[in-house]
Amino acid sequence: MSDIHELSALDLAAAVRRGELDPRDVVEHTLERAGRLGPAVGAFAHLTPDLAREQAAAASRRLSDGGELPPFLGVPVPVKDLAMVAGQPFEAGSAALRGYVAPADDGVTVRLREAGTLMVGKTTTPELGLPSYTEPDVAAPARSPWDPRRSAGGSSGGAAAAVAAGIVPAAHASDGGGSIRIPAAACGLVGLKASRGRVSKGPLGVDGAGLTVDGVVTRTVRDTAAFLDVLSEPWPGDHYLLPGPRSSFLAACGHRPRELRIGVLTRPINVHEAPVHETSLAAVDRAVRLLEEMGHAVTTTQVPFSPEEWEHFNPLWAVGALSAPVPPEAEALLVPLTRWMREQGRQYSGVDYAAAVAAVQRLARSAAQVWRDLDVVLTPALATPAPFIGGMRDDADPAADFEAQKAFTPWTSPWNMLGAPAITIPLHRAEVDGVTLPVGVQLGATRLGDEELLLGLAAALEEADPWPTSPVEPA
């Protein structure tokens, strides 16, 4: 059998169920790798060895007791430090929240615990999860294990670094403008942003403008699908509710969609001019070739709305930053980008915010009309390779920092606005500055609730042109 850290989440869970692996051995192996490899890639804000060992012991007893077992019993899955785990640090990447301990579990934490996972730590996130890089003042920056000089992306950068470094097979992540898909692409992983309403916030959460969704980053499409089956279980009182899959999201990976209409878009959506690196274009070309060989109808398509219209996203993002419960006396501890975004938020009135919500809803309807003859839109995942650490963060000019992030990720946030699902897969590899890097593409559905279609299509691409899934240990 492969080493523990080489197994997918599904394969590891199966080995535990068969009695080939004891959860206590799994957790010790994982904690050793987390302690040894985690600091080099900035994967963890906090490790939680006591909690993980307690859960592993309980999982081992459950195996001995017999009876029905949860799907991921004994599988280590850390939680991003934007979600609460009762009794554990909850600092959201910010010095302003240093020392805060979560009083309760968030809904996603409950679902992961119910699935039998082992909570080995809180993964690193940038302050309040705002930027597309992970360089908090309170922790080491999250680095791509493929090239530790480069960012692991954000805001789920620590989660992606932990999975890509072979510490864990899957990690909780969340996405309000690309924060699952960006680090997945930067680190050679699979990242699905589910539909609005697919994954509940749980009893303590609120949906707000409906931009953010919880999920995971993994190495395989099947793992991502299986975790969606876990996380999409609804809660009483959910504000949004979508019909469930025909059988399961994991089963959807075995259904190969036939003769889809796929539009190709390589022009940036949220900015007028942004350089698109040759490796990003090559990844799209690779995907087009594979899709055509599968019999899908592939055509070029157009940007669904202008960069000026995209700006309606800004009040939602800025007011969201302002809504973070930062004590007034701790405001000065925030990084310049966060302070700048919160100041932007203060400039919007309640009417401005309501108008932004309405405008984003109109844009979703407009995009649906533009893409009404398409099932999926194929784009690069990122415009360029991930920046070097420190290369995008600009404390002296937060506005320039924000614009650089937009140019780096011109295709992710529109799907948060639309509410439809989108998935990034590491389909391509290319040499950049003497190092082989993964290069992702994004498959964005044009309709709400089309996760099954995306998962089937992504699984077909994975089967036709497998990407490296063995852990890449940091240099």
Catalytic residues: 80, 155, 179
Find out whether 437 and 189 touch, Cβ atoms under 8 Å.
no
* Cβ contact 56:23 at 8 Å: yes
User: How would you class 206 by CB atoms within 10 Å of its CB: exposed for 0-12, middle for 13-18, buried for 19 or more?
Assistant: exposed
**Cα 198 from Cα 256, distance rounded (Å):** 22
Tokens of 26: 């799994």
> H helices within 192-237, ranges in order?
221-231
Range 273-307 burial, b when 16+ CB lie within 10 A, else e? ebebbebbeebbebbbebbeebebebeebebbbeb
Residue 129: count other Cβ atoms within 10 Å of its Cβ.
26
- Residue partners of 396: CB distance under 8 A and separation at least 6: 336
DSSP string, 401-463: HHHHHHHH-TTTHHHHHH---EEEEEEEEEEETTEEEEEEEEEEESSTT-HHHHHHHHHHHHH
Beta bridge partners of 298: 262
Closest CA to 163 of 134, 181, 187, 185: 187
**Spatial distance between the Cα atoms of 317 and 315, rounded to a whole number of angstroms:** 5
SS3 240: coil
Question: How many CB atoms neighbour CB 412 within 10 A?
Answer: 29
In angstroms, rounded to a whole number, what is the distance separating the alpha carbons of residues 363 and 444? 16
Token pair for residue 61?
A: 């007893």
SS (H, E, C) 105-147: CCHHHHHHHHCCCECCEEECCCHHHCCCCCCCCCCCCCEECCE
Q: Encode 321-386 in three state secondary structure.
A: HHCCCCCHHHHHHCCHHHHHHHHHHHCCCHHHHHHHHHHHHHHHHHHHHHCCCCCEEEEECCCCCC
Measured in whole angstroms, how far is the alpha carbon of residue 193 from the centre of its chain? 7
Residue that the structure tokens 């938020």 belong to: 345
CA atoms within 13 A on the CB side of 67: 8
- Under a CB-based contact definition with an 8 Å cutoff, are residues 114 and 207 in contact? no
